[in-house]
Amino acid sequence: MLDGINPGQYIPADSLIHRMDPRAKLIVTVISVLAVILASSLSALLVVLIWSVLVARMSGIKAVFYWRSLKPLWVLLLFSFFFRACFTPGKPFIDTGFLMISYEGIISAGWLVWKLALLVLTSAVVTFTTTPLQLTAALEQMLMPLARIGLPVREMSMMVNLALRFIPTLFQETRLLFMAQWSRGAAFTRGRITDRLKGLVPFIVPLLTNVYQRADELALGMETRCYRVGAVRSRMKPLQFKPLDVVAVLSSNLVLVFVLVQRLG
């Protein structure tokens, strides 16, 4: 039941995007997201679309994967479309008296869905082309200035790293527990809602117990490998901005500037 869950998983390939500095990727993503949100004219939205598709193409990842990352969101997209279409006043397109859908509503809903899809696409490019390790390294470096005011940036990025590392393990464990308790007649999917909630106990208690045990073992493992809180560690592969990264950041800025000019002009 939990087999298919791998949201935004890293997909190895050898592309320009894969080779970019993860920090550059994050910066480009933030700027692209801003551009998508701020795009207000058709030409602006087209430019943003072309930019996103171009980046997605350059990532060397099959379109199927992007399509799959959109698929679980169709309910959200449908709802956004529906609500925006129904609650935007304007010239009536369909009017049942109880519910009125306006021309303006349909157009604005279309925009919204287009923008949401672009946002998903943009973030999918990052998660598909960047390993979690690279991502947290980038976050750590970018947040480093905050360490000056006493924020434990290194420790936080280590925590994120560990959390990401254990997601698949937890899924697997959950699956096993589900099977084991099902084999003992546990009913998670039958009966009234209170019964179902009670049915979760044999499932959650051992899951949590195992998580704590694992955390304990992990802490011991880290200590025996001389992990110390607050210690500065060196990197095997230091992050480095290359010309490619500069080009990418500049181009994304160009897109944003175009969008802003359109908005103001």
Partner 1 sequence: MEMTALKDIKLNIFPGEFLVVAGSTGSGKSTLVQHFNGLLLPTNGRVKVLGKDTTDKKHRNELWRLVGMFFQFPECQFFNATVYDDIAFGLRNLNLDEKTIARRIREALAIMGLPDEVKFAHPGKLSDGTRRLAAMAGTLAPRPKILVLDEPGAGLGPKDKKIVFDRLQCLQKSSGVTIILVTHDMEDAAAYAERVALLKGGQLLRVDKARHILADTGVLREAGLRPPYAVELADRLRQEGIHLPSMPLTVADAAKLLGSLLKQKAGD
Residue type, 95: D
Q: What are phi and psi of 203, to 5 degrees?
A: -110, -45
Q: In angstroms, give the least distance from the CB of 175 to partner 1.
A: 10
Q: Smallest distance from the beta carbon of 254 to partner 1, in angstroms?
A: 38
Q: Is the dihedral of CA 245, 248, 251, 256 positive or negative?
A: negative
Interface residues with partner 1 (CB under 8 A)?
173, 176-177, 179-187, 201-203, 205-206, 209-210
Question: Which residue's CB is nearer to partner 1, number 90 or number 202?
Answer: 202
Q: Which residue has the tokens 């694992």?
A: 214
Which residue, 8 or 206, is less far from partner 1 as judged by CB?
A: 206
Residues 132, 161 contacting (CB under 8 angstroms): yes
DSSP character string of 134-159: HHHHHHHHHHGGGGGGT--HHHHHHH
Cα gap 29→254, rounded to integer Å? 13
Least gap, CB of 205 to partner 1 (angstroms): 4
Give the residue with the Cβ less far from partner 1, 198 or 263: 198
**C-beta closer to partner 1: residue 104 or 173:** 173
CA–CA separation, 92 and 99 (whole Å): 10
Q: Which of 1, 108, 51 is nearest to 256 (CA)?
A: 51
Indicate the residue among 184 and 228 with the shorter CB distance to partner 1: 184
Shortest separation between residue 206's beta carbon and partner 1, angstroms: 5
